[in-house]
């Protein structure tokens, strides 16, 4: 018998707490109705009819016996409580994982914001330095007006080269920041994945432990069912033996009564004959 078998459900009854509240009359009525449906004589073409009917009888035997039903109902309550506790622990672990991931995301965003702030400050410093440099150059141009025309082209080329180099540096710096950000995101996802896997391993271990407990409970139920069946069979055998002994005793008594009547009849005839002889004398 499957350790996860719901004996109430086998009889077509509600399971869980609703099944626990059912009366013996309701259980007996459900068994009779279900037995009429699953009896092998009613399903001659079903190769599994006998197995289904035996399963029905076993479930009814568990629920009919007060002690067995009490143990089974306690198992249902324990299993329900355990599932609720496991669900609560699972939700708590998921919430903890989400909180940890959220903290890591916030730290990453804060770090990126700090780097962005440093980059802006560096750009401001560089802009100030460039403006000062340009202003200084403008002053130099005003002071050296005589040589402005000859030196203007060279200054323009140097300024353009400097600006182009600055744009290349900014582009490379942005690429490096983007690469670091992607690396941090990948690392965060790996951490979250490891936590999820660890949670799945813990849940699997809990499930296997519960399955082992259920198998042990099923073995105990089957043992208890076999013990009750053996006791019932022994009781029937004792009853049959007593009936057979009673029948034989009755037969012997009847035989004894017949022999006694015949003996009394013979003695009566002898007495009659003896009495007649005495009168003749």
Specify if 33 maps to a domain. yes
pLDDT in tens, 195-224: 788 878 887 887 787 777 666 766 776 677
Q: Which tokens hold the place of 45?
A: 């073409």
| 22, containing H or E segment | none
Specify if 267 maps to a domain. no
State the pLDDT at residue 159: 59
What is the percent of the chain where pLDDT is above 90? Answer: 28
Backbone dihedral angles phi then psi of residue 108, each to the nearest 5 degrees: -65, -45
Q: What is the CATH number of the domain that holds 43?
A: 1.10.287.110
Specify if 36 maps to a domain. yes
Burial status of residue 1 (CB atoms within 10 A of its CB: 0-12, 13-18, 19 or more): middle
Specify if 27 maps to a domain. yes
- Number of continuous H segments (helices) and E segments (strands) in the chain: 6, 0
Tally of structural domains, the chain: 1
Average pLDDT, integer, range 226-252 = 75
CA 54, distance to chain mean position in Å, is 27
Cα separation, 42 vs 120, in Å, equals 86
Where does the pLDDT of residue 264 fall: very low under 50, low under 70, confident under 90, or very high at 90 and above? low
DSSP per-residue letters across 177-233:
HHHHHHHHHHHHHHHHHHHHHHHHHHHHHHHHHHHHHHHHHHHHHHHHHHHHHHHHH
Specify if 24 maps to a domain. yes
Question: Which residues constitute the domain of residue 35?
Answer: 1-64
Q: 98, 89 in Cβ contact below 8 A?
A: no
Specify if 145 maps to a domain. no
Specify if 266 maps to a domain. no
Specify if 1 maps to a domain. yes
């Amino acid at each position: 018998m499957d350790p996860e078998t719901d004996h109430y459900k086998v009889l077509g009854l509600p399971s869980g707490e609703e099944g626990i509240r059912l009366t013996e009359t309701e259980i007996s009525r459900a068994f009779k109705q279900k037995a009429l449906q699953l009896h092998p004589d009613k399903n001659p073409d079903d190769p599994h009819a006998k197995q289904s009917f035996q399963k029905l009888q076993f479930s009814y035997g568990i629920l009919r016996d007060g002690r067995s039903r009490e143990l089974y109902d306690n198992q249902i309550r324990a299993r329900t409580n355990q599932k609720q506790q496991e669900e609560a622990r699972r939700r708590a672990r998921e919430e903890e994982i989400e909180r940890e991931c959220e903290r890591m995301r916030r730290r990453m965003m804060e770090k990126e914001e700090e780097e962005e702030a440093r980059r802006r400050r560096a750009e401001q410093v560089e802009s100030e330095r460039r403006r000062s440099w340009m202003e200084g150059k403008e002053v130099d141009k005003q002071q050296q007006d005589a040589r402005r025309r000859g030196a203007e082209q060279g200054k323009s080329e140097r300024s353009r080269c400097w600006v182009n180099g600055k744009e290349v540096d900014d582009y490379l710096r942005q690429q490096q920041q983007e690469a670091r950000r992607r690396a941090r995101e990948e690392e965060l996802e790996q951490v979250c994945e490891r936590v999820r896997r660890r949670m799945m391993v813990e849940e699997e271990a809990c499930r296997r432990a519960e399955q082992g407990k259920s198998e042990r409970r099923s073995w105990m139920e089957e043992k208890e069912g076999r013990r009750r069946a053996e006791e019932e069979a022994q009781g029937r055998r004792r009853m049959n033996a007593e009936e057979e002994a009673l029948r034989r005793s009755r037969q012997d008594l009847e035989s004894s009564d017949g022999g006694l009547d015949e003996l009394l009849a013979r003695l009566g005839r002898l007495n009659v004959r003896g009495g007649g002889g005495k009168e003749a004398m």
